[in-house]
Amino acid sequence: MPEPVATLRLGDDERAMLAGGRGAAAQRAMRIVVDAARLLGADRLVEIASAHIDGCLYHGDGGVLFAELLVADGGRVAVPTTLNVGALDLVHHGRVRLTGHEAAMAARMTRAYEALGCRPSWTCAPYQAGHRPALGQHVAWGESNAIVFCNSVLGARTARYGDFLDICCALIGRAPNVGLHRDEARRATVTIDAGGLPRALVEDEAFYPVLGAWLGRETGGAVAAIVGLPPRIEEDRLKALGAAAASTGAVGLFHVVGCTPEAPDLATAGGGAEPRARVALTTAMLRGARATLSTHPLDEGAAIDAVAIGSPHLSHDEIQRLLGLLAGRRSRVTFYACTGRHVLDALSGSEVAALAAAGIDLVVDTCVVVTPIFADGRGVVMTNSGKFAHYMKPNTGRDVVFGTLADCVESAVAGRLVRDERTWS
Instruction: Please identify, among the stretches 62-70, 132-140, 344-352, 372-380, the one whose residues bind another protein according to the rule CB under 8 A.
Output: 62-70
> Residue 194, interface with another protein (CB under 8 A)?
no
Lay out the site mask for another protein across 147-166 (x = CB under 8 A, - = otherwise).
Answer: -------------xxxxxx-
Shortest Å distance, C-beta 136 to another protein: 23
Out of 8, 22, 26, 28, the only residue in the binding site for another protein (CB under 8 A) is 28
Shortest Å distance, C-beta 181 to another protein: 13
Instruction: Please identify, among the stretches 37-45, 204-212, 232-240, 359-367, the one whose residues bind another protein according to the rule CB under 8 A.
Output: 37-45
Lay out the site mask for another protein across 282-311 (x = CB under 8 A, - = otherwise).
Answer: ------------------------------
Shortest Å distance, C-beta 309 to another protein: 21
Nearer to another protein, 60 or 297 (CB): 60
Measured over the CA atoms of residue 231, residue 236, residue 237 and residue 239, the dihedral's sign is: positive
Cβ atoms of 227 and 191 within 8 Å: the answer is yes
Nearer to another protein, 32 or 222 (CB): 32
> Residue 143, interface with another protein (CB under 8 A)?
yes
Out of 18, 26, 30, 36, the only residue in the binding site for another protein (CB under 8 A) is 36
> Residue 335, interface with another protein (CB under 8 A)?
no
Out of 91, 233, 250, 354, the only residue in the binding site for another protein (CB under 8 A) is 250
Instruction: Please identify, among the stretches 260-268, 279-287, 325-333, 387-395, the one whose residues bind another protein according to the rule CB under 8 A.
Output: 387-395
> Residue 5, interface with another protein (CB under 8 A)?
no
Write the secondary structure of the chain as one string of H (helix), E (strand) and C (coil).
CCCCCCCCCCCHHHHHHHCCCCCHHHHHHHHHHHHHHHHHCCCCEEECCCEEECCCCCCCHHHHHHHHHHHHCCCCCCCCEEECCCCCCCCCCCCCCCCHHHHHHHHHHHHHHHHCCCECCCCCCHHHCCCCCCCCCECEECCHHHHHHHHHHHCCECCCCCCCHHHHHHHHCEEECCHHHCHHHHCCCEEEECCCCCHHHHHCCCHHHHHHHHHHHHHCCCCEEEECCCCCCCHHHHHHHHHHHHHHCCCCCEEECCCCCCCCCHHHHCCCCCCCEEEECCHHHHHHHHHHCCCCCCCCCCECCEEEEEEEEECHHHHHHHHHHHCCCCCCCEEEEEECHHHHHHCCHHHHHHHHHCCEEEEECCCCCCCCCCCCCCCEEEECCHHHHHHHHHHHCCEEEECCHHHHHHHHHHCECCCCCCCCC
Instruction: Please identify, among the stretches 57-65, 182-190, 233-241, 313-321, the one whose residues bind another protein according to the rule CB under 8 A.
Output: 57-65
Question: In the beta sheet, which residues pair with residue 47?
Answer: 174
Nearer to another protein, 143 or 410 (CB): 143
> Residue 32, interface with another protein (CB under 8 A)?
yes
> Residue 399, interface with another protein (CB under 8 A)?
no
Instruction: Please identify, among the stretches 59-67, 282-290, 342-350, 352-360, the one whose residues bind another protein according to the rule CB under 8 A.
Output: 59-67
> Residue 373, interface with another protein (CB under 8 A)?
no
Interface contacts to another protein, rule CB under 8 A: 1-2, 28, 31-32, 35-36, 39-41, 54-55, 57, 59-63, 65-66, 69, 142-144, 160-165, 250, 391, 394-395
